[in-house]
Amino acid sequence: MRVIVRSFAAFLRAAVGTMLQYRGEIILWAIWGLINPAVLYAIWSAAAESNVDQTLAGFSRGQFAAYYFCIMIIGHFTTAWDAYELGYLIRSGSLSSQLLRPILPIWSALAANMAYKITTLAFVGPMWALFFWIVRPTFDAAPWQIVLGIVATMLAGLLNFLLGYVVALVSFWSPKLDAVGEAYFGIGMVFGGRFAPLAALPGILYQAAYILPFRWMYAFPAELMMGKIKTPAEALSGLTIQLVWLLGIVFVFRFGWKAAVRHYSAVSG
């Protein structure tokens, strides 16, 4: 345990250093996370205003603004790219050296992930404030909802990171399967409530979204923070379900990782 903590701290320091070195390029990655929710806010608020009662799926224009403001922030803190990257690490052979270390490669991936989120904050933070100021969202959240929303966002970040990593394990069997990362991302967009709030999903998509884990990564923390989830009981049961998913995915990871490493044969030096 102490080894893990000390190594992780070292990984994190190194990763922050690397990110600061490439700060210009990293900011370019972060821009998408700003533009995409802003564009989706525009389409949904325009759609809501075309309806007679000025609302859509129970959201007014101001509530769409609040929802996408939350999604913008949650999207930043939950972002993970291992589903795309692990295949490349295997193809290029750089995973081999990571496997020699007495600590799982997932820890250095987690450190890089956290370093990205911390270092880009100085750029995206002011942009969030700007978006807030332009779109004037209607929030009706009490302090407890915001506090629990922050907890839910952190759990959501872990959830997306771990599930993405588990999905990425497919690349041990087929390292050129780039479509896996794209499909994982697209499914998260639709069923997580990033493209549209879950209440706006039609019939079968709505039912699928309630079974799949993605709503606990985006829609749940967003609805909590904007005040759509009214009772503490609802909020606490949501947090519990997040934890259950998290434990389940950790369990799958432990087995999946063992099987993957057993299957691993290095591609190149």
Partner 1 sequence: MRYMRAIRLIGLFTKVNIQNLAAYRFDMYMRIVVSILHLISELIGVYIIFSNTQDVRGWKWQHMLVLVGVYRTVAGGIRIAIVPNMRKLLEDIREGTLDFVLLKPVNAQFLVSIREIVIYRAVDVMLGLSIATYGCIKLTGQVPVAQAIVFTATLAAGFMIVYGVWLMLGTLCFWFVRVQNIEMVFWNVFEAGRFPIDIYRESVRWTLTYLIPLAFITTVPARALISGDMTASPSTVAWGFGLAVVMLIVSNRFWRYGLRHYSGASA
Stretch that binds partner 1, among 36-44, 91-99, 120-128, 240-248 (CB under 8 A): 36-44
Restricting to residues 40-99, which ones interact with partner 1 according to CB under 8 A?
Answer: 42-44, 46-48, 50-51, 56-57
- Scanning 120-218, the segments in alpha helix (DSSP H) are 121-135, 143-168, 178-191, 203-211
Q: What is the CA radius of gyration of the chain?
A: 19
**How far is 133 from 142, CA to CA, in rounded Å?**
20
For residue 119, the minimal CB distance to partner 1 (Å) is 16
Size (the chain), residues: 269
Residue showing tokens 């987690």 = 110
C-alpha closest to that of 78 among 230, 227, 192, 248:
192
Of positions 1, 5, 24, 231, contacts partner 1 by CB under 8 A: 24
259 lies in the site for partner 1, by CB under 8 A: no
- Write the interaction track for partner 1 spanning residues 189-208; mark x where CB under 8 A is met and - where it is not: xx----xx---xxx--x---
Restricting to residues 158-187, which ones interact with partner 1 according to CB under 8 A?
Answer: 176-179, 182-183, 186
Residue 24 or 143 with smaller CB distance to partner 1: 24
The residue ranges of DSSP E strands in the chain, in sequence order, are none
Q: Which two tokens stand for residue 50?
A: 């075309």
Of positions 4, 20, 35, 244, contacts partner 1 by CB under 8 A: 35
SS3 59: strand
Q: Determine contact, residues 164/248, Cβ cutoff 8 Å.
A: no
For residue 38, the minimal CB distance to partner 1 (Å) is 8
> Which residue ranges make up the site for partner 1 (CB under 8 A)?
24-25, 28-29, 31-32, 35-36, 39, 42-44, 46-48, 50-51, 56-57, 176-179, 182-183, 186, 189-190, 195-196, 200-202, 205
